[in-house]
Amino acid sequence: MVGSLLLRGMLVGIMAGLLAFGFARVFGEPQVDHAIAFEEQQAQAAGEASEPELVSRSTQAGIGLLTGTLVYGASIGGLFALVFSYVQGRVSGFGPRGTAALIALAGFVVIILVPQFKYPANPPSVGNTETIEARTQLFFILLTVSILAAVASIGLAKRLASQYGTWNAWIAAAAAYLIVMASAEYALPPINEVPEQFSAAVLWDFRVASLGIQTVLWAAIGVLFGAVAERKLVDRRDGRPVASIAVR
Amino acid sequence: MSEIALRPVVLPAPIPVRELLPWAVFGGLMLLMAIYFIGAEEGATSLMRGTYVHEFVHDGRHLLGFPCH
């Protein structure tokens, strides 16, 4: 059962990655081009020779971007299926479609939205080569903190539910998660490597496009995986689970 | 109406952890490796020489929000 859900998750992720690629082509690539034009203009003004292209721009924006979004989509889709396999029937009291939608929403908030508030996506020419090590470490530290805080909050909600009711327990858990993340993001060092003359409008558009790509990806995975998992787990004729039945 | 209201909610039973664990460990590891190659290889850390992987997935890396040069 887990194997077939994992396979389905990865296939759904590839479809979602394809949608994300389309969105990235239309809304993201123009911003990348603006940023690279700025980079070259700065290099020219400084009298530096332009960098030799190892991979052409059209390859980067075409098959390279497609590879990135498809592999990323398949990976997120597969991990999604593994989380779903554990959560279904344990944490969530919803059916497969509701559970998948909730995991997608929570995943987007915990893995993308909240960490990106502190360390947002940056276009080319923003970010020094010398600081890539520190920036990568901080990025993954914040990501790990966010995931751990979310898991702990869900555990807290489960524990509080019997005493204070489900609604109150989940509100308390969400507040606990937000307090932990606000503290972590306050404590971690800021990163601002935007060049003085870089267009604020391009930076904004780039970051909105980046969040848009992730929104498309996670929404597509949540909706598509829910439909696919329901076909696998629930008999469509009588609406009863195919494998084992749990009556509540 | 009361029949509908009283119909018990039927949900698929949880998948046993011992069935899930091997998939989660091996599958999870492979998938995280794939994300590493798209998001971080030849940036702060390198498993392979050169910068070809970095340059090839360059646009995706920036647009998906990973730290890059």
Residue A247 reports pLDDT greater than 50: no
Taking a C-beta distance cutoff of 8 angstroms, is the pair B23, B42 a contact?
no
Length in residues, chain A? 248
ipTM: 0.90
Residue ranges of E strands in chain A: 245-247
Mean pLDDT of A26-51: 91
Residue A64 reports pLDDT greater than 50: yes
User: Which of chain A's residues have a Cβ under 8 Å away from the Cβ of B27?
Assistant: 6, 78, 82
Mark yes or no for CB contact B67/A78 under 8 Å.
no
Residue B46 lies in a domain: yes
Mark yes or no for CB contact B62/A128 under 8 Å.
no
CB atoms within 10 A of CB A93: 12
Residue B2 lies in a domain: no
Tell me, what's the pLDDT at A245? 47
Q: Of A44-48, A206-210, B25-29, which gets the smallest average pLDDT?
A: A44-48
Residue A248 reports pLDDT greater than 60: no
Beta strands at B10-12 and A245-247: parallel, antiparallel or unpaired: antiparallel
Mean pLDDT of chain A: 93
| Partner residue opposite B52 with nearest CB, options A28, A54, A129 | A54
pLDDT band at A49 (very low <50, low <70, confident <90, very high): confident
CB atoms within 10 A of CB A43: 14
Chosen for mutation from B15, B63, B66 (greatest number of chain A CBs closer than 10 Å) is B63
Distance of CA A87 to the CA centre of its chain: 19
Q: A125: closest CA among A40, A201, A56?
A: A40
Handedness of CA A59, A65, A70, A75 (dihedral sign): positive
User: Which of chain B's residues have a Cβ under 8 Å away from the Cβ of A231?
Assistant: none
Mark yes or no for CB contact B65/A210 under 8 Å.
yes
Tell me, what's the pLDDT at A238? 66
A140 burial via Cβ count (<10 Å: 0-12, 13-18, 19+): middle
A59 touches chain B (CB under 8 A): yes
User: In chain A, what percentage of residues exceed pLDDT 70?
Assistant: 95
Residue B31 lies in a domain: yes
Main-chain dihedrals φ then ψ at residue B41, nearest 5 degrees = -60, 140
Q: What is the pLDDT of residues B41-55, one digit of tens each?
A: 988 888 888 889 999
User: Which of chain B's residues have a Cβ under 8 Å away from the Cβ of A76?
Assistant: 35
Q: Of A31-35, A126-130, A218-222, B63-67, which gets the smallest average pLDDT?
A: A126-130
Main-chain dihedrals φ then ψ at residue A215, nearest 5 degrees = -60, -45
Mark yes or no for CB contact A82/B20 under 8 Å.
yes
B50 vs chain A: nearest CA distance in angstroms?
A: 10
User: Which of chain A's residues have a Cβ under 8 Å away from the Cβ of B53?
Assistant: none
Q: Per CB distance under 8 Å, which residues of B are interface residues toward A?
A: 8-15, 17, 19-20, 23-24, 27-28, 31-32, 34-35, 37-40, 43-45, 51-52, 55-69
Residue A236 reports pLDDT greater than 60: yes
Main-chain dihedrals φ then ψ at residue A218, nearest 5 degrees = -70, -40
Distance of CA A170 to the CA centre of its chain: 22
Query: What's the start-to-end Cα distance of chain B, in Å?
Result: 63
Taking a C-beta distance cutoff of 8 angstroms, is the pair A36, A124 a contact?
yes
Residue B5 lies in a domain: no
The helix (H) or strand (E) run that includes residue B25 is none
Distance CA A235, CA A178 (A): 39
User: Which of chain A's residues have a Cβ under 8 Å away from the Cβ of B12?
Assistant: 88-89, 95-96, 233-234, 241-244, 246
Tell me, what's the pLDDT at A46? 87
Largest CA distance in chain B: 69
Please state whether the predicted TM-score (pTM) of the whole model is above 0.90.
yes
Q: A76: closest CA among A4, A12, A25?
A: A12
Mark yes or no for CB contact A74/B56 under 8 Å.
no
Mark yes or no for CB contact B10/A245 under 8 Å.
yes
Q: Which residue has the higher pLDDT, A80 or A234?
A: A80
Query: How many domains would you assign to chain B?
Result: 1
Residue A107 reports pLDDT greater than 70: yes
Residue B6 lies in a domain: no
Mark yes or no for CB contact B11/A78 under 8 Å.
no
Distance CA A102, CA A117 (A): 21
Residue B32 lies in a domain: yes
Contacts of B37 (CB under 8 A, 6+ apart): A71, B53, B57
Mark yes or no for CB contact A88/B14 under 8 Å.
yes
Q: A193: closest CA among A139, A124, A126?
A: A126
Mean pLDDT of A31-54: 88
Structure tokens given for A134 = 């520190």
| Partner residue opposite B69 with nearest CB, options A59, A86, A132 | A132
* Enclosing domain of residue B41: 17-69
